[in-house]
């Protein structure tokens, strides 16, 4: 394995917390905007943009890891869909996260649309809320089953 792969894994692992934080900020801001009939402000757009940038970075790192860690080779095994661990890494993690990132993009696109603020908040809320649920569900948390679980706080250079 190339020497920079542990660094990529470390970054990919840490970035999850920034994504979770900003997804939560966007969800709460949209909820407050929706329920309080607030005006859509620059701050609302900025937090959605920061989330989008973190997600795109995570996608790039994820795609790189997909090839560099040999995850893609799991497809060549005939039993990939029967084995829950292989299925998680070869299909479920990447595909679900990709769907979540697409939802974040769709949510952000509403920040630029000409529509009333109430509808804007509502649409952003639902896109990012669903994305957040998908992301939380598909993170390989420490308490998940063996083979899937990864450390919640990664150690630099440690390869699990
Ligand atoms: C919001 C999006 C994502 C989040 C929050 C996320 C989170 C994580 C976390 C926490 C790990 C464990 C890192 C560790 O070992 O400490 C991981 C591993 C990994 N992720 Fe993601 N990920 C995301 C998107 C993606 C995408 C889109 C892909 C691929 C297309 C991907 C591919 C991988 C791969 C290949 C691994 C390493 C698997 C291994 O160790 O064998 N991830 N991801």
Distance 63 CA to ligand 1 centre (A): 9
User: What is the rounded average pLDDT of the residues 152-159?
Assistant: 75
CA 147/CA 74 separation, integer angstroms: 13
Q: What is the pLDDT of residues 4-57, one digit of tens each?
A: 999 999 999 999 999 999 999 999 999 999 999 999 999 999 999 999 999 999
Residue nearest to atom 21 of ligand 1 (CA): 62
Position in ligand 1 atom list of the atom nearest CA 65: 35
Question: pLDDT category, 58, cuts 50, 70, 90?
Answer: very high
* Encoded tokens for 97: 């996260």
CA 74/CA 91 separation, integer angstroms: 9
**Residue 152 domain flag:** no
**Residue 114 domain flag:** yes
Total count of domains within the chain: 1
**Residue 128 domain flag:** yes
Distance 12 CA to ligand 1 centre (A): 6
Position in ligand 1 atom list of the atom nearest CA 55: 1
Distance 94 CA to ligand 1 centre (A): 7
CA 137/CA 155 separation, integer angstroms: 22
**The 3-state secondary structure of 41-86, one letter per residue:** CHHHHHHHHHHHHHHHHHHHHHHHHHHHCCHHHHHHCCCCCCCHHH
* pLDDT exceeds cutoff 60 at 158: no
Q: What is the pLDDT of residues 94-137, one digit of tens each?
A: 999 999 999 999 999 999 999 999 999 999 999 999 999 999 99
Are 111 and 48 spatial neighbours (Cβ–Cβ below 8 Å)?
yes
Model pTM score: 0.94
* Encoded tokens for 32: 């407050």
Residue nearest to atom 42 of ligand 1 (CA): 62
The domain of 86 spans: 5-138
Distance 142 CA to ligand 1 centre (A): 13
**Residue 153 domain flag:** no
**Residue 19 domain flag:** yes
* pLDDT exceeds cutoff 90 at 156: no
**Residue 155 domain flag:** no
Are 56 and 10 spatial neighbours (Cβ–Cβ below 8 Å)?
no
């Amino acid at each position: 394995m190339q020497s920079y792969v542990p660094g990529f894994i470390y970054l990919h692992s840490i970035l999850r917390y920034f994504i979770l934080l900003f997804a939560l900020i966007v969800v709460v801001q949209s909820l407050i905007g929706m329920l309080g009939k607030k005006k859509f402000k620059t701050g609302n757009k900025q937090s959605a943009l920061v989330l989008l940038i973190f997600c795109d970075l995570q996608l790039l790192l994820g795609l790189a890891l997909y090839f560099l860690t040999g995850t893609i080779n799991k497809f060549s095994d005939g039993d990939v869909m029967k084995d829950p661990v292989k299925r998680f890494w070869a299909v479920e993690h990447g595909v679900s996260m990709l769907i979540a990132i697409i939802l974040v993009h769709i949510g952000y696109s509403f920040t630029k649309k000409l529509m009333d603020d109430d509808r804007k908040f509502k649409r952003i809320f639902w896109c990012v809320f669903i994305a957040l649920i998908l992301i939380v569900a598909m993170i390989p948390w420490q308490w998940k089953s063996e083979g899937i679980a990864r450390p919640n706080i990664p150690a630099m250079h440690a390869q699990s």
